[in-house]
A and B are shown apart, each in its own frame.
Chain A
Amino acid sequence: MSEPLIRLENVTKSYPSTESPAVGDLTMDVHEGEVLVLVGPSGCGKSTTLRLINRLIEPTSGRIFLKGEDVTEIDSSQLRRKIGYVIQQVGLFPHRTIAENIATVPKLLGWDKAKIADRIDEMLELVSMEPAVYRDRYPKELSGGQAQRVGVARALAADPDVLLMDEPFGAIDPITRDRLQNEFLRLQQDLKKTIVFVTHDIDEAIKMGNRIAILREGSEIAQIDTPEVILSDPADEFVENFLGSGAILKGLTLKKVRDIDLHPIPALEMPVMRDEALRVLEESPEKTAVLLDKDHRPLRWISEASLNRTTQPIEKSGKPITIDLQPEDTLQDALGVMLQSSVGMAVVVDRKGKYLGCCSIESLASLIISDAGGTSSS
């Protein structure tokens, strides 16, 4: 692998008032373009570690490299202008408009006015906020979720290569948090920033991280690896305990619906004759078929029993399909849909809503089992 973008080398931070150091002899690499999540119990020193990287906290000893350059000695304010920083409490400047908030670092770097104005609008659009509506507002007019969107926009305004995020979605309600996480992951696919992300929430870590560093007291790394490996092969008891029960269930967020083999449930395309339907159902392994409309969108689950029970037209028999999945959805979403579904299966459709196939609990289970077996034996 290429040279790490950020390298912490034997970094220690101790305070005179406490005996054991907050961060003890930490060596850690962050690679270019990855999201490294620092996760651990509260007080383990993960935030301190983050703040050592942009030198909001000065290390007692050790060295920190950014792109191979030792940044322990350079001017710390200059350094921070090159590193985006997002915190849980957001910390927007209440006396400045949204535009002025976003312009903070570009202004410090001396960009010209026209360039800054363009950048403000670009950033607002990036975080899905209408520039004309929000540009001249003040932070107190925003909701928590909107404020953190602006917080992210402000951190990205000067296009830093590195972004440090300290529990950025920690103070936001679960529904908005989920949405912001997804949006952020989508952004990161395009931006490819190098991100160090601190959280105490293992589920968030698994969702957001390309790699996860599980820290114990004194910011000692218990395990640092990809979420898949950590879930299937925890290094020790501490990691196991921290993952908690249901590591397999957590692993479901890592896999997408497209990773599993779709179950061959036959489709009935409208308009369809009753005899034709019965013949198809006869051949179907589950004695079930999916009724599609003219545009191949799934409408109802049709079973042999339901068809025999009534004399109603076929488009009124069986059970309606109310939720479907797309290949990009996680297996956790898939599990939820399957459990709600009346037949224990979920239909998968493409972006336009066209029927692709079904996934069943069995196919999910076989994927998990083969996966867990595969990694631990390696």
Chain B
Amino acid sequence: MTVVAPARVDRTTLAERLDLIVAPVFAAVLAVIGGAVWLYSDIDDTTRAILAPEKLQKQLVETLVLGFASSALVIIIAIPIGIAVTRRGLPRVKNFLVDTLGLAQALPAYGLIVLFFSWLGAGIGTVIVALATFSLLPVLRNTIVGLEQVDQAVIEAGRGMGYTKSQVLFEIELPLAVPVIIAGVRTAIVINIGMAALAFLIGGGGLGETINSGLKLDRNPAILIGAVMVAILALVFDFLSAVAQRYLKPKGM
């Protein structure tokens, strides 16, 4: 008997392709706006001082450090917790965690940063902890959802063939949950980069300082350019995460 082979299917959907196009387009548009502001508006010495390259460079690095450190912290904390609460016997802990962290996200980020300041004092460390708390939920929730949506039949088959519990987790569940988990990490990274603009409030540095100086000294071009830079940075990271999402997605899915 012969079995007819089905034709291979094209796996990239329109949504997936758009995912990789939209962010760069927006970033480019914003870059053009920023450039136009710099070229055509009235730039005086104060504005020039606020937008001094070495200052911007320092703030850029600070923003990146804040974004990366807080995202890394989130990943280190949220994914293991997500795995732990989806093991058998912990559904109550899971619901409690998701509810509580939902509350943390409902608080304004501004309030959260100030709250942590009153507890941990000023500095970059406090900002990292505050950002991590704020963006913990998307990663935790996606880890839980990602693990729970794995087809029970696949797990059953794995167990039935002699995979141990940890082999089922690392060989089946996690690889199959990766797309959903990364989607959560992507959200967290974008939140963190964006929110890092508030770090200046408690001496954490970052591009927020430029915006703040612009506001205080009433220099609109500085505000605009600072805001555009924050937005472009968030978009660039969104794009990089989308690329990672595409290439870390297991084949065959």
Contacts and interface: CB of A to CB of B under 8 A. Distances in A.
Nearest to A141: B6
Contacts of A129: 3
B229 to A, nearest CB: 39
Given A87-B156, A90-B157, A91-B156, A108 B1 contact: no
B24 interface: no
Nearest to A95: B250
B160 A94 contact: no
A81 B8 contact: no
Nearest to B154: A91
B252 A97 contact: yes
Contacts of B250: 94-95
A34 interface: no
B7 to A, nearest CB: 9
Contacts of A139: 252
Contact of A90 (B153, B164, B176): B153
Contact of A78 (B153, B155, B157, B162): B162
Interface string A155-186: 10000000010000000000000010001000
B45 to A, nearest CB: 59
A94 B176 contact: yes
A85 B8 contact: no
B149 to A, nearest CB: 12
Interface in A57-109: 77-82, 85, 87, 89-97, 104-105, 108
B9 interface: yes
A56 B156 contact: yes
A97 B6 CA distance: 15
Interface size class of B (residues with CB under 8 A): 20 to 34
B14 interface: no
Contact of A87 (B5, B157, B252): B157
Contacts of A82: 162
Given A89-B153, A91-B151, A128 B1 contact: yes
A54 B176 CA distance: 25
Nearest to A54: B160
Contacts of B158: 91, 93, 104
A81 B164 CA distance: 10
A370 interface: no
B175 interface: yes
Interface of B is mostly: loop
A85 B6 contact: no
B252 A91 contact: no
Interface stretch (A115-123, A130-138, A278-286): A130-138
A141 B157 contact: no
A105 B161 contact: yes
B237 interface: no
A133 B4 CA distance: 10
Interface string B211-242: 00000000000000000000000000000000
B109 interface: no
B204 to A, nearest CB: 40
A80 B6 contact: no
Contact of A77 (B162, B176, B251): B162
B5 A134 contact: yes
B154 A108 contact: no
Contact of A146 (B3, B8, B151, B175): B3
Nearest to B5: A133
Contacts of A90: 153, 157
A81 B158 CA distance: 10
B87 interface: no
B252 A80 contact: no
Given A95-B175, A95-B176, A85 B253 contact: no
A138 B251 CA distance: 8
A91 B157 contact: yes
Contacts of B167: 77
A183 B159 contact: no
Contacts of B252: 94-97, 138-140
Contacts of B5: 130, 133-134
A32 B162 CA distance: 22
Contacts of B160: 54, 56, 80, 85, 87, 91, 164
Contact of B253 (A54, A95, A164): A95
Nearest to A85: B160
Contacts of B56: none
B176 A104 contact: no
A92 B157 contact: yes
A93 B154 contact: yes
Nearest to B172: A93
B163 interface: yes
22 contacts: A77-B167, A79-B162, A80-B160, A81-B161, A82-B162, A85-B160, A93-B154, A94-B154, A95-B175, A95-B253, A128-B2, A130-B2, A138-B251, A138-B252, A140-B252, A143-B6, A146-B3, A149-B3, A151-B157, A154-B161, A155-B161, A183-B1
Given A85-B157, A149-B3, 14 more contacts: A79-B162, A80-B161, A81-B162, A87-B153, A90-B153, A91-B158, A93-B154, A93-B157, A94-B151, A104-B161, A128-B2, A133-B5, A134-B5, A179-B1
